[in-house]
Amino acid sequence: MAEIIDGKAIAEKVREDARIRADELKRKGIIPCLAVILAGEDPASLSYVTGKEKALAEAGMESRDLRLSESVSEAELLSLISTLNADPKVHGILVQLPLPRHIDSDRIITAIDPAKDVDGFHPVSVGNLVLGKKGFIPCTPNGVVFLLKEMKIKTSGAHAVILGRSSIVGKPLANLLIQKGINATVTICHTGTPDFSIYTRQADILIAAAGSPGLVKGNMIKPGAAVIDVGVNRVADAAKKSGFRLRGDVDFESACETAGWITPVPGGVGPMTIAMLMLNVVEAASK
């Protein structure tokens, strides 16, 4: 049976570190502040934003809750970001994705001052990661690597297979895993890969970030591999008050029979994403 990686407990340690660093800054008269922009009423986005704001409060940081209507114009959003860029009391800016369809997300993200890009999505942040320079690392990929280190899972020389090539997880995670000091050999599988199970069965570290519930079965996993499930999918469940339950990209029950380590959903990667965001906000305020 696989050892279950308790992302919630590990994230608590990270958040406590962020709180201690925030306290040190406050003694110097600096209150770390994150401006969170949410356009529209998407239920999942509302839930994510609420979780981030709660974590900020618990860490003693300030959150500017900026809720906008679904019909907000791109020009209005760009103007708001310009104002936040110029505000010295705002250290980080986070635009919750996805944005309404009439808004160009790339243009909005590029408008954020790279020094306040705590999500790590700005082209400057992406370039720094690719080049191995210091900069903000996207929170989910950073959280995944932190989990591997915390669990003392060997990355140097390991074959890491990533399912998914998104700009939020797959691509930055691949770039992070090949950095010196981590030294994994990385394969990325995507919708153009004819049979991804050929590669998953070779993986010492398997990261599922495809957005497809239960995609990875136990027989697709190398015995003893570390399985990191980034997927957060809502599936209908009449037994739940909400009418749905969360399920990862990995079939947890069958995977547990083969894997050496595994993250659950929920309680695995999700808490780490918010924890790493807290560290990025503190880092932005420190600079």
Distance in angstroms (rounded) separating the CA atoms of residues 94 and 118: 7
Catalytic residue, chosen from 116, 117, 119, 171, is 119
The full DSSP string for the chain is: -PEEP-HHHHHHHHHHHHHHHHHHHHTTT---EEEEEEES--HHHHHHHHHHHHHHHHTT-EEEEEEE-TT--HHHHHHHHHHHHH-TT--EEEEPSSPPTTS-HHHHHHHS-GGG-TTS-SHHHHHHHHHT-SSPPPHHHHHHHHHHHHTT---TT-EEEEE---TTTHHHHHHHHTSTTT--EEEEE-TT-S-THHHHTT-SEEEE-SS-TT-B-GGGS-TT-EEEE---EEEE-TTSTTSEEEE-SB-HHHHHTT-SEE--SSSSHHHHHHHHHHHHHHHHHH-
| Residue 40 among known ligand-binding residues | no
Which one, of 211, 196, 199, lies nearest residue 250 by Cα? 211
* 101 among annotated binding-site residues: no
Q: Consult the annotation and say whether 19 binds a ligand.
A: no
Say which of 96, 204, 222, 229 is annotated catalytic: 96
Annotated catalytic, 96?
Answer: yes
108-129 per-residue burial string, b: 16 or more CB within 10 A, e: under 16: bbebbbbbbbbbbbbebbbebb
Tracing tokens 């974590």 back to the chain, one arrives at: 55
Contact 267, 8 (CB under 8 A): yes
Q: Is 234 annotated as a binding residue?
A: no
Tell me which of 6, 13, 26, 52 is the catalytic residue. Answer: 52
Q: Which residues are annotated as a binding site for NADP(+)?
A: 164-166, 232
Catalytic machinery residues: 52, 96, 119
